[in-house]
Chains A and B, each alone.
Chain A
Amino acid sequence: MTAGALFWLILFGIAALVFFGIALVVTIRGVGDLRDLLSSSEHRVKEP
């Protein structure tokens, strides 16, 4: 394997880990955010 290819493959590995890591965190925490968004909107719709 050439040094150039190794350099880019290491960067690819880091980039993929960061992408899927953030995706995991966002998936878990996003559920709460979504619930907040809907509940606050529902509350406002029901206000007289």
Chain B
Amino acid sequence: MNFGAVDWILTVAYLLASVALGIWAKRYVENLAGYMVAGRKVKVSLGIATFVATELGTVTYVYYGELGYVAGFSGFIIGILAMVAYAVVGRTGFIIENLRRLRVMTIPEYYELRYSRRVRLLGGIILFLGGVLNMGIFLKFDGIFLSEVMGFGPGALAIIMTVMLLIVVSYTVLGGMFSIVITDFMQFVVLAFGMLVATIAVLWRVDLTSISTAVSTTLGASGVDPFANPRFGWTFVLWIFVSSVAAGALWQPGTSKALASESPEVAKKMFFWTGLTFAGRAMIPMFWGVAALAFFGPGLTSAAAMPKLLGAVVPPGFLGLLVAGMLAASMSTYSAYLLAWSSVLARDVIGCTRPRDFSESTTVAITRFVAGVIGVFLLVFGLWYQIPDTAFQYLYVTGAMYTSGALGCVAAGMYWRKANKIGAYASLIMGAVAPAGFLVLEKSRDALPAWLTFISDVNIAGILSFFLAALGMIVGSLASQRTSPPKHLTTAEQP
């Protein structure tokens, strides 16, 4: 076991502080807007902290660390692509500015304003399914990370992760976005410090020359050139860039930070500056993964190599800080995702099965209940499901189930006057087909007929989803202009 008494004290103290702070924040929740978007009063620096904390979970470190271990430096291009995509969204205000002006709380709400209530229902269902499937593997990867870093067996860690999930569910259910923003700030500070400690420890024990030698010896040109690496290539680069723009503008847990911001201008600044951190968000854990390749050599379980390195090089005492940082990262991610997906199910799915919305208090009650149910699902799914390909690609392909159709619907809805509800239906459905096909058919890759094997390539399934969604929107809208004239926002609804 790598954990000493000081490490335990730091970790337990941190967990207790998180719970106390999260539950204390409940006093600020006055209404639905308070619960879901913190009263729309979040300023730039606090917004950046909560955004980065949401987008950096332990699972993020593990999947990027895994990519560093198996692909060397060539995976670093993902950080560059994400940075450019988010910074462009922030600088231009692409989608987020209008969404914030419209004062919506979830993205499917826009579908009702621009298309119809039924489009909102379908969009809500796809968003919820894609989002919860995406989140389903978080717990498993957190377990891998902590079991290797702390030196426990996986059995004990399943219990620790259960406790952690219960803590997050409790304060998310009670305090909503207020709890998330307040705890995220503390978690951001702790996780950034934990990352700094880990990076210094890795640089201290593994020299850069041996890292370079390990990459060239083990991976050759594919370790430094993403276009020569069979795991990546042009299809991958194009998919990840488009996907990062779509996720930047339309991934509910992240976009909700723009919706909670004080103004559209604050939302744009928040996205721009957060975007600049995204190169480091990817490259720092990937660097730890590449260092693990140099330290241990190839042959380890890819997802476990980087955590094993941190367990070996971070000194006792600091290990507690690192684990607190990782717990911080996970808790902030879980809480934001739980609120995002439970809000969508309550408002955009359950609420849309009725002609009129539920009252605010009923919506908050349903959201709280759903957040608890999702927590139970995470435990069951995370421990049972075997992910295809790398965790990074699984997360992007499940995300594409929703983001491809959403990009088609929202971008066309805002910037193309001919977009109508038929195009929206086609975009949402066709965008979900390729990723869903990949997730189902990948399990029986060998039994597929030759003409269908392309769908078992995660990169092709990912980029295809965006192409099909755009095609669905354009063809569906143009073919039905007479039968379904486009609905435009009323003057009162205009941003």
Which A residues are within 8 Å of any B CB, using their own CB?
1-2, 4-9, 11-12, 14-16, 18-20, 22-23, 25-27, 29-30, 32-34, 36-38, 40-42, 44-45
Chief secondary structure at chain A's binding surface = helix
Q: In this complex, what residue of B is CB-closest to A17?
A: B280
Chain B, interface size category, equals: 35 or more
**Would A15 and B280 be within 8 Å (CB), given that A26-B48, A37-B46, A41-B28 are in contact?**
yes
CB <8 Å contact, B185 and A22: no
Rank and list the top 3 A-B pairs by shortest CB-CB distance, nearest first.
A19-B280, A4-B224, A33-B46
6 chain-A/chain-B pairs, Cβ below 8 angstroms: A19-B279, A19-B281, A26-B49, A27-B189, A34-B185, A41-B178
Is residue B176 contacting chain A, with contact meaning CB distance below 8 A? no
Residues of chain B within 8 A (CB-CB) of A4 are: 73, 221, 223-225
Chain A residue nearest to B280 (CB atoms) is A19
Contact of A1 among B80, B208, B277 (CB under 8 A): B208
Task: Give Cα A1 to B27, complex, Å.
Answer: 57
With A12-B283, A15-B284, A16-B284 given, is the CB distance from A5 to B224 under 8 Å? yes
- Flag if B43 contacts A27 (CB, 8 Å): no
A19-B43 contact, Cβ under 8 Å, with A7-B224, A8-B224, A45-B30:
no
Q: Which of chain A's residues have a CB closer than 8 A to the CB of B34?
A: 41
Say whether B46 contacts A5, CB under 8 Å. Answer: no
Which residue from B42, B273, B280 sits with its C-beta under 8 Å from A16? Answer: B280
Q: Is B235 an interface residue (CB 8 A)?
A: no
Task: Report B55 CB to chain A, min CB distance, Å.
Answer: 12
Chain A: which residue is nearest B79 at the CB level?
Answer: A15
Contact with A along B171-196 (1 / 0, CB 8 A): 00000001001100100110010011
Say whether B45 contacts A37, CB under 8 Å. no
**Main secondary structure on chain B at its contact with chain A?**
helix
The reply to whether B192 and A23 form a contact with Cβ atoms under 8 Å apart is yes
Which B residues fall within an 8 A CB radius of A? 27-28, 30, 34, 38-39, 41-49, 52, 73, 76, 79-80, 83, 178, 181-182, 185, 188-189, 192, 195-196, 199, 208-209, 211-213, 215-216, 221, 223-225, 273, 276-277, 279-281, 283-284, 287
Whether the pair A19, B284 counts as a contact (CB closer than 8 A) is yes
Question: Is B215 a contact of A5 with CB atoms below 8 Å?
Answer: yes
Given A8-B73, A12-B287, A20:B280 Cβ within 8 A: yes
A21 to B: closest C-beta gap in Å: 9
Q: Assuming the A-B contacts A23-B277, A37-B42, are A2 and B212 also in contact, with contact meaning beta carbons closer than 8 angstroms in the complex?
A: yes
- Which of B73, B209, B287 has its CB near the most chain A CB atoms (within 10 A)? B73
The smallest beta-carbon distance between A29 and chain B, in angstroms, is: 4
- Are B181's CB and A12's CB within 8 A? no
Q: Which of A1, A20, A30, A38 contacts B212, CB < 8 Å?
A: A1
CB distance from A46 to the nearest CB of B (A): 11
Q: Within the assembled complex, what's the spacing in Å between the Cα atoms of A26 and B277?
A: 11
Give min CB distance, B237 to chain A, whole Å: 15
User: A40 to chain B: which residues have CB within 8 Å?
Assistant: 39, 41
In the bound complex, residues from chain B placing their C-beta under 8 Å from that of A25 are 45
